[in-house]
Amino acid sequence: MKFVIDKTALLVVDLQEKLLPAMHDHERVLARSLVMLKCAKALGVGVVTTQQYPRGLGETVKVVRDELEPNDVIIDKTRFSACTDKVMGVIESGGYKSVLVMGVEAHVCVMQSCLDLKAAGYHVGVVVDAIGSRNPLDWDTGIARFQQRGIELMTVESAVFELVGDAKAEGFKKVLPLIQ
């Protein structure tokens, strides 16, 4: 099954002020996350953002918040999985069949979110160049576990071009400058 624009949501997990800098290679995680987010917005893909215990870990980083539109939701949570009732309500009401997931930490919140989405019957992909963990071993182990559990591994570029589908599509011209 392919990821298509009108049936796919992007779940942005816990890219927060105090959490993100603790990630190994956090500059890459943020840079690739921003490219994915900008492309999703350009294509009209629905975006849901979570933040884990913002009182302790800070708000979603400003550069990510700046890419969101007023109707985009940021949902606070304390569960490690982003699949709270509010998040699932947004995904269900959007009629999405697929969810692309990015954020931190790969082996905890991103992992548990992907597993819960898959268990709920969604087609799930994790954007591997837009996820991070504090420890590289945790990231590596997370990637292996995603594979074992049937979660599709994608890069930002592969996810975006799969969403677009055709170089003649209107969306291709919108995302090409963002990808290059």
pTM over 0.85: yes
> Domain boundaries in the chain?
5-179
Q: Is 129 a catalytic site residue? A: no
Return the pLDDT at 82: 98
Q: Return the CATH number of 5-179, one of 3.40.309.10, 3.40.50.850, 3.30.479.30, 3.40.190.10.
A: 3.40.50.850
Mean pLDDT by 10 residues, the chain (180 residues): 96 98 98 98 97 97 96 95 97 97 98 98 98 98 98 98 96 93
Catalytic: which of 41, 77, 83, 116? 77
Return the pLDDT at 73: 86
C-alpha closest to that of 77 among 45, 38, 102, 109 = 109
Return the pLDDT at 180: 80
Return the pLDDT at 104: 98
Alpha-carbon gap, residue 67 to 79, rounded angstroms: 25
Q: Is 14 a catalytic site residue? A: yes
C-alpha closest to that of 156 among 68, 33, 24, 14 = 33
Catalytic: which of 14, 38, 83, 116? 14
The CA radius of gyration of the chain, in Å to the nearest whole number, is: 15
Q: Is 18 a catalytic site residue? A: no
Cα 159 to Cα 23, 40, 51, 61, 67: the distances in Å are 23, 10, 23, 23, 19
Beta bridge partners of 9: 46, 99
Catalytic: which of 109, 114, 116, 129? 109
